[in-house]
Copies of this chain bind each other. A is one copy, B any other.
Amino acid sequence: MSWAEVQTRSELYRGQTVRNVTNISRRRYRQGAGKNRRPGTDRIMQHDKILDESDGIKVKVDSAALSNQRQAPTDFSNIYSKDLLPASGGEEVTKEFLQELLNVLLGYICKTNQRSTKVLDYHHPHQLKEGLEGFTLQLTDQPETLEQILVDCRDTLKYGVNSGHPRFFNQLSSGLDLIGLAGEWLTSTANCNMFTYEVSPVFILMEEVLLKKMQDIVGWSKDEGDGLFCPGGSISNLYSILVARYHFYPEVKTRGMRALPRLALFTSEHSHYSIKKSAAVLGFGSENVIVVKCDERGKMIPVELESSIIAAEEKDLVPFYVNATAGTTVYGAFDPLDAIADICHRHDLWMHVDAAWGGGLLMSDRHRMKLKGIERAWSVTWNPHKMMGVPLQCSVILIKKRGLLQECNELGAEYLFQRDKPYDVSYDTGDKSIQCGRHVDVFKFWLMWKAKGSQGFGSQVNKCLENAEYLYDELQRRAGFELVFEHKPEHSNVCFWYIPPSLRVLPPGPERDAKLHHVAPRIKHRMMEKGSTLVGYQPFGDKVNFFRCVFSNPATQQEDVDFLLNEICQLGENL
């Protein structure tokens, strides 16, 4: 159908005062609730419906407002994507389509922030694949109407997981920062690519500003510091090893690993698996990653590091790289950075700090001393998409020695990085990267910094850590909970077991452990089915499955901590 025809149909509406009320699918993306719900979900569905209806009123008012200009709201059931811009005359329909989308997204955003909304509406893979209430994932040759597209948008959100919900404790990244969201919407509207200043002048300069800011906060001098925004912390850690290798053995770039001695990397048993994975990818081999022991709080033991280095040398390995973790994934532990820096200095090793999770604490005057010594690192990973609440993806690799990143990775493709441009081509940073095209991850972060100031990030971090302390206190106060380690949390991770009444009579030991191992998965299973909250669990070393609760969402309050603990008790008391 051409746009001219759409307008003709639109004319038809102008004489109508009431739209066809039997057009149910037309309103699905506004009103949400359908029929044929799964048994057992009625209560929540009912709630959904109420919320949706109240949203619906708001939407109707907005639509009525639009209709002052167009007489009747657009009927998207006859309009297709080809009628949107750049189609000739597509401006109005584009505005109305994005307005309707905004209404759907606003409805979701408001609901996500309501505690009475479910965190998730769980379905098994086969259920979603078979299609639920007309929501089908399958793709066809023929186009669907914009109405169906809006319905699909609504359904996609409905069957997803609300990682922005105040009671989502499952992952290190959570929350939904509205300024960050605005930044992402603008980023995708600009649809730019980070390779050159020529096509992304503003974003390239924002990257420079943010990298300098972060280097300054880490504590490097004005003459030091380089970096890049990367697609996630694992890739940032990969860069640290890549650049370290090039620093000691620049011939690797042309001649490969076979020209080098057998190199060894060191990282703690509590560190992130991306160190080992990157070592495999880069051709070191995972067996050349030496795992260093930690103390009971998950911190690397410096003497263990030094003896591991010496032992490796005795086996004819050549140590060159140490990863220290500032905020481990499970315990939230901070390795003793100064002591590790001393060892690296003595043995002339590259010191990397993986502060993907802990870096955010640098923003807080109260907590930044936990990363003391980070200024001595040669490279740092820091993920603003974790503790600082920036929407995914937003990760940074910082390299102390300027120029190394460029030398290590540049190949100088002339179709992209011409030298005869009319500006200073040192701003064409794309050849520092192992990517070619690179998504703009900086803008949302820049905008959040503008909106909060450094201070705002600091307060946000403090609040998350207060929640962790509150949980720690509550776990000690309440019956039926045991801490995995007996120390006030350093970061916002709190690790604990729930001991159901039936196990409380057993003494600690292998028999109780065998049973306890199944408790967290069973509670989690029930939690997912109920959808009321979400928290992670895992075994670690010789410790059976325990819960790990993490706080990075500023929406979370103490009442949510109480809710989580009550929920665990209720779901687990008969186990």
Contact = CB atoms under 8 A, between A and B. Distances in A.
A283 B283 contact: yes
A149 interface: yes
Contacts of A102: 98-99, 102
Interface string A548-574: 100000110000000000000000000
A486 to B, nearest CB: 21
A90 B238 CA distance: 40
A525 B256 contact: no
Given A102-B102, A231-B231, 13 more contacts: A62-B65, A81-B177, A85-B176, A101-B186, A108-B190, A143-B456, A153-B447, A159-B201, A253-B285, A254-B285, A254-B287, A329-B415, A415-B540
A182 B439 contact: no
A182 B414 contact: no
B434 A235 contact: yes
B255 A285 contact: yes
Interface stretch (A10-18, A122-130, A368-376, A508-516): A122-130
Interface in A223-265: 231-235, 238, 242, 252-260, 262
B197 A170 contact: no
Contacts of A447: 149, 152-153
A104 to B, nearest CB: 8
Nearest to A409: B277
Contacts of A234: 434-437
Interface stretch (A19-27, A35-43, A421-429): A421-429
A356 B238 CA distance: 24
A137 interface: yes
Contacts of A137: 202, 205-206, 209, 446
Nearest to A63: B65
A440 B161 CA distance: 13
5 contacts: A141-B455, A142-B455, A164-B191, A193-B392, A257-B283
A414 B128 CA distance: 26
A110 interface: yes
A156 interface: yes
Contacts of A420: 518, 521, 545
Contacts of A242: 281
Contacts of A9: none
A71 to B, nearest CB: 14
B453 A179 contact: no
